[in-house]
Amino acid sequence: MIDRFRDIARALVGVLLLGMAGAAAQTAQSQTSPNSGAPSQTAQAPAQPAGPAGPQINIAEITARANRDVGVNIETAINGWQHELDRLESALQKPRLRYSELNDLRDELQHVRAGIEDFWKLLEPRLAAAKDQVALLGPAPAAGQPENWRQGSPLPTAERGQAERASRCTRIS
């Protein structure tokens, strides 16, 4: 049961970070595009092989923005839950626990669970918004097509993949 809460906490962090990475990449793409209404030059020119340099993602900025949006330090909250779950698991492994001790441990576990569920309620609308954005992107380009294979595609292939992975994350019950 404790492992399930760990999985939920990890999934929440992964979803939040991937969602924020996709949103940041989309914002950066729209800010650097001088004329988004004009046809892309890459679509007219022959496709050039991609260099080793991929999209630069500032993880610290994304994490800071995610923490600010949620109103808590996400990593600190998850580490706190992890510490509590580890402590509860160790306590449950002691031999000959009394019924009152088991009740106390159950109450503590329910408190941790309530905290995780409250955090999930904060993230759920943001996840739904990220899924809606991914749905608007349409299909990813086929192999061999340039990244901006269709006019108006807001995300390059790498960010599209991150956004699609984030949209597949669902609540673990």
State the Cα–Cα distance between residues 115 and 125, nearest whole angstrom. 17
Distance between CA atoms of 157 and 24, rounded to whole angstroms?
14
Give 116-143 pLDDT, tens digit per residue.
999 999 888 888 888 898 888 877 777 7
pLDDT value at residue 38: 45
Distances (CA, A) of 169 to 108, 116, 159: 28, 16, 16
Given this model, what pLDDT does residue 173 score? Answer: 44
User: What pTM does this model have?
Assistant: 0.51
Coil/strand/helix, residue 156? coil
Identify the three-state secondary structure at position 108.
Answer: helix
CB-based contacts of 137, cutoff 8 Å, min separation 6: 153, 154, 155, 160, 163, 164
Average pLDDT per run of 10 along the chain, which is 173 residues long?
70 65 60 48 48 71 88 91 95 94 96 94 87 83 67 55 59 46
Dihedrals φ, ψ of 48, to 5°?
Answer: -105, 145
89 contact partners, CB below 8 Å, separation of at least 6: 2
User: What does 21-38 look like in DSSP terms, one character per residue?
Assistant: HHHHHHHHHHHH-S-TTS
Q: Which two tokens stand for residue 83?
A: 């510490």
pLDDT of 40 reads 44
